[in-house]
Amino acid sequence: MEADIVTILIGIIGGVIITAPVLWIAGRMLVGATNAKFTDAITIVVLGSIASGVVTFLLGPSLLGSIAQLVVILALIKKYYECGWGKAFAVAIVTVVIYVIILFVLSMVGISILGGF
């Protein structure tokens, strides 16, 4: 049980450090600076990590579990960035695109944060 809590905490901290700034940038681009605050991005990442853990525990690593996780993340973006479902989906897509670009640039300069991939 202790290792599970440590793993969850490391995931949350890593998510806040890596994902929150990217989510914040995407949010500012699509919903504006007044609706997309950095603290909202941190809250989305923390609550999303916890909710994803709960969904995985309840539904397992399945297609249904993945869809439920996506809906939870989109609902969090919608709530905290005060936008509709379409904008929340767009923020999620732009977040992934920015994240992939950052990973590509880092790999071009010889830095890999994916453990050798």
Beta strands in the chain (DSSP E): none
* Residue 114 backbone dihedrals phi, psi, to 5 degrees: -100, 15
> 61, 43, 41: which is closest to 52 by C-alpha?
61
What is the average pLDDT score of the chain? Answer: 87
The long-range contacts involving 101-105, CB below 8 angstroms and separated by at least 24 positions, are: 102/22
Neighbours of 51 (CB within 10 A): 17
Using the predicted structure, report yes or no on whether residue 23 has a pLDDT greater than 90: yes
Q: What is the mean pLDDT of residues 29-33?
A: 93
pLDDT digits (tens, 9 = 90+) for 63-115: 998 899 999 999 999 999 999 999 999 999 999 999 899 888 888 887 766 55
Work out the pLDDT band at 31, boundaries 50, 70, 90: very high
d(CA 17, CA 14): 5
The pTM assigned to this predicted structure is 0.83
Neighbours of 58 (CB within 10 A): 9
Work out the pLDDT band at 55, boundaries 50, 70, 90: confident
Using the predicted structure, report yes or no on whether residue 8 has a pLDDT greater than 90: no
d(CA 48, CA 59): 16
